[in-house]
Structure 1
Amino acid sequence: MGPLIGLVLLCLALALTTDTFLTVRNILNVLDQVTVLGIMAIGMTLVILIGGIDLSVGSVLALASMVMGYVAYPDYLNLGVPAGIAAALVVAALCGLVSGLLVTVTKLPPFIATLAMMSVARGLANMITDGSQIVGFPDWFTNLSIVRHFGFLSVTVGLMIVLAIVFAIFLNYRATGRSLYAIGGSAEVALSGGIGSIGGTAIGVLIIGVLRNGLNLLGVSPFIQQVVIGVVIALAVATDTWRRRRP
């Protein structure tokens, strides 16, 4: 309940200090802004449950995006967006496989293995297009995150919600999902895994999204925003750790 109470208090504070935070349009903007973070966080929840860590998710996302653009865009391979999406998924899966093999076969700590993958993936992403942006995708593709169906729901936000529901059911009602909690609660990783939920992940993502949105509405510098968000994350984790260690 602690993070949820913090989210509610944050929303109340921003509602009192800004005129537009509680408008429907702004709330929908917050959901749009946290979509990518939310989808990645769902996957990371499973990693954290078993006491693992993956520092490479952002870089792997960048690499997969560049591969998709390279395969799909007319100035490069021009094979179409569906082929680009398939190629991006394959590349992302291969990155995960390599990181997994580094941990399980070479016995590297997950921190070191994914740190190395973070550097490699980010470098490859820049090499593919020489650091330049890829723009000009077809309207049907860009509309997935722009057009709001039924007046409030974009396809990307809908996908995030569906994934959250599916993985919540998987973790709570499937044997494989429950086994992740068992792995995280084992003697080897006790105190670093076995605790967490999709609901908690969603609250954490919303806290970051609401905080970033509110700081934008207040006109706070983007550089200061990074500092504030970092401090909030550190305080939240420290508070949660202290609460767990209490007798």
Structure 2
Amino acid sequence: MSNLTLKKMINSYGMVLILILLFLSLSASIDGFFSARTVWSIIEQVSMFGIIAIGVTFIIITTGIDLSSGSVVALTAVVSASIVTGGDSVSAALVAFGASIVIGAALGAVNGGLTAIGSIPPFIATLGMMIIARGAAQLYSDGRPIDASSEAFTWIADVNFFGLPGLVLLYIIIVIGSHILLSRSTFGRHVYAVGGNLNAAKICGINTTKTLIWVYVLGGALSGLAGALLASRTYAGNPSYGLSWELDAIAAAVIGGVSLSGGLGTIPMCVIGALIIGTTNKGLNMLGVDPYWQQIIKGSIIIVAVLLDTLKRRKKS
């Protein structure tokens, strides 16, 4: 095997190797970590912010960013919980999920419009939306949790299909659908083109404004779905939900090789990045590491991932 081939393999699958080594090292340090139960627990936890990370991946590929996803989770969680409060009908549960997705998509459309039409930097546009959505969640719920213990609503979080948790199965379906959309559709090619070179994409006849808006709509819709799923899983909607989830989602995307300079990234590697974050969280919790130290460690991981991405781009240029 040539050095060039080995280098390409490391660049493409290096994070997979890191995930395996991380899991094995934690298994050697923690009794009972190496088990199917631990693996399913990690994947189930990852399924929450992992859904957001998929939307963030689309956005970052276009050289954008979304800081509002965690706040959208909080807002849609309390809205969905309020819809099913006091009832246990399937129709109410479906309305709750539908409303969450629509609200998330609408907020995403605002983000996309501000960015694509208003020419506001995505960092500023989504930072403003992050504050607005969090405030709206607090206002809507009066700052208190809202009960969501409707069996029809919590069914997706409680059900198992052949031993596979419902949330995990849904996450897998979203991963597969998103991968097909990004890698095998015209929309996906437009997303890569916009991120690779916006002016060149315009010259090629791509409606870049429409593409950017739809990317943020997709990100918002997935955040809204995550909010409803979180309320379903915890039997309540809480305005404090989703704190720092946007950072976990961005970290998962960047660790998975999505370039902040745009034009590069895949859904499968985003999943690997999310699993690295989830495995790290699980391991640190089982080791009894102080939550404040956990934040420092996760922040360091993000910085290292961005630094590696920057160094990789410098070498190519």
Given the two structures, how large is their TM-score scaled by the length of structure 1? 0.92
Aligned counterpart, 1:217: 286
Q: Which residue of 151, 162, 166 maps to 1:155?
A: 166
Number of positions where the alignment pairs a residue of Structure 1 with one of Structure 2: 243
Match of 1:30 in 2: 42
Alignment of 1:42-121 (within 5 A): 42-74=54-86, 80-121=92-133
Match of 1:238 in 2: 307
Kindly tell me: are residues 52 and 191 of structure 1, through their superposed partners in 2, closer, same or farther at Cα, counting changes over 3 Å?
closer
CA distance 1:98–1:12, shift in 2 (3 Å):
same
51-60 or 64-73: bigger deviation: 64-73
> Is the CA contact 1:145–1:157 (under 8 Å) kept in the aligned structure 2?
no
Asked whether the 8 Å contact 1:50–1:180 carries over to 2, the reply is yes
Deviations, residues 53-85 of structure 1 (Å, cap 9, x unaligned): 11101101111111111222129xxx8222222
Farther-moved stretch of structure 1 (112-121 vs 173-182): 173-182
Instruction: In structure 2, give the amino acid aligned to 1:102.
Output: L
Alignment partners' CA distance in 2, 1:6 and 1:44: 22
Which has the larger displacement, 233-242 or 122-131? 233-242
- 8 Å CA contact 2:93–2:152 kept in 1: the answer is no
CA distance in 2, matches of 1:72, 1:140: 9
| Letter of the structure 1 residue corresponding to residue 52 of structure 2 | M
**1:175 CA drift (Å):** 1.8
Quick one: structure 1 residues 170 and 192, their matched pair in 2 at CA, closer, same or farther if it must change by over 3 Å? Answer: same
* Partner Cα distance (2:59, 2:71) in 1: 17
What are structure 1's unaligned runs of at least 5 residues? none
Contact 2:61-2:260 at 8 Å conserved across structures = no
Matched with 2:180 is: 169
The answer for the alignment partner of 2:6 in structure 1 is none
1:123-148, CA deviations, whole angstroms, 9 ceiling, x for partnerless residues?
Answer: 00011111111224223432422333
Letter in 1 for 2:120: L
What corresponds to 1:178 in structure 2? 189
For residues 2 and 211 of structure 1, what CA distance do their matches in structure 2 show? 17
**Contact kept in structure 2, 1:65 and 1:88, CA below 8 Å:** yes
The answer on whether the counterparts of 1:56 and 1:114 sit within 8 Å (CA) in structure 2 is yes
Alignment-derived partner of residue 137 in structure 1: 149
TM-score by structure 2 length? 0.72
Deviations 1:129-175 (A, max 9, x none): 11111224223432422333212x11111111111111111222212
Query: What fraction of aligned residue pairs are identical, expressed as a percent?
Result: 41
Separation of aligned partners in 2, 1:163 and 1:82: 18
Aligned equivalents of 1:93, 1:43: Cα separation in 2: 11
Q: Matches of 1:191 and 1:161 in 2, distance apart? A: 25
Amino acid at match of 2:62: I
Q: Is the 8 A contact 1:46 1:180 kept in 2?
A: yes
Q: AA paired with 1:178?
A: R
Amino acid at match of 1:184: G
CA distance, structure 1, for counterparts of residue 158 and residue 292 of structure 2? 27
Deviations 1:90-141 (A, max 9, x none): 2112111111221223221111010000000000001111111122422343
- Rounded to whole Å, the distance in 2 between the matches of 1:91 and 1:36 is 18
Residue in 1 aligned with 2:250?
A: none
Deviation at 1:86? 2.0
RMSD value, Cα: 1.9
**Which protein has greater RCO, CA pairs closer than 8 Å, 6+ apart?**
2
